[in-house]
Amino acid sequence: MINAADIRFRLLTFGAMILSGFVVTDVRAQSDSPEYERQACLALRAVDRMHAVDDRTILFFMRGREGRVFRNDLPQVCRDLRRNRSISYSTTSSRNPRLCANDLIRVRESGVSCQLGDFRSITTEEAESLLEARNEADDATELEGSDAE
């Protein structure tokens, strides 16, 4: 005879199996698509400019003919990021400076430090759409970045 605890356990196990299947499917779908390439780091010499879309999203526009754009969704809200125009960051290598997921950036005017997330490649059209939507509410902020001293 099956008791109530056994039924609950089976339902929870079945639910977890279904959810993990959806997660695996979603990750595979994104990873197969070239426009959703993920990178742990970006070489700073390759970054042309940065725009804060909001207090949790930064777009990195890369140099070169390809015009690649990387979106960084910060794991936490970064207070004052969009409102201010400059950030600072520290790099561990002076020979090949780069920004990586989990690195800290600092909003200069307020001194707030925020952790970066993964960099995800997006299309130029997606970046323009994000900036246009933000411009409708308020001007998107172009960030001025520099290595902390």
- Higher per-residue confidence, 56 vs 35: 56
Is the domain of 40 the same as that of 25?
no
Q: 88 with 29: CB under 8 angstroms?
A: no
Per-residue pLDDT averaged across 65-86, rounded? 88
Is the domain of 58 the same as that of 86?
yes
Residue 11 pLDDT class (50, 70, 90 cuts): very low
Residues of the domain holding 52: 35-147
Write down the pTM of the prediction: 0.68
Tokens read off for 90: 């520290």
Is the domain of 24 the same as that of 73?
no
For the stretch 134-147, pLDDT in tens is: 877 665 556 777 76
Is the domain of 15 the same as that of 79?
no
Is the domain of 72 the same as that of 21?
no
For the stretch 35-54, pLDDT in tens is: 568 889 999 999 999 999 99
Is the domain of 24 the same as that of 75?
no
Is the domain of 84 the same as that of 20?
no
Instruction: Report how far residue 116's alpha carbon sits from residue 102's, in angstroms, rounded to the nearest whole number.
Output: 5
Tokens read off for 25: 């499917």
Is the domain of 68 the same as that of 135?
yes
Is the domain of 28 the same as that of 71?
no
Burial zone of 106 (CB within 10 Å; 0-12 exposed, 13-18 middle, 19+ buried): middle
Is the domain of 74 the same as that of 20?
no
The pLDDT, as a whole number, for residue 88 is 85
Is the domain of 24 the same as that of 42?
no
Q: How far is CA 41 from CA 11, 32, 38, in A?
A: 41, 20, 9
The pLDDT, as a whole number, for residue 42 is 93
For 120, residues 6+ apart whose C-beta sits below 8 A from its C-beta are 36, 37, 38, 39, 70, 71, 72, 73
Is the domain of 22 the same as that of 39?
no
Q: How many domains does the chain have?
A: 2
- Higher per-residue confidence, 86 vs 127: 127
For the stretch 93-136, pLDDT in tens is: 677 899 999 999 999 888 899 999 999 999 999 999 999 888 77
Instruction: Report how far residue 115's alpha carbon sits from residue 34's, in angstroms, rounded to the nearest whole number.
Output: 25
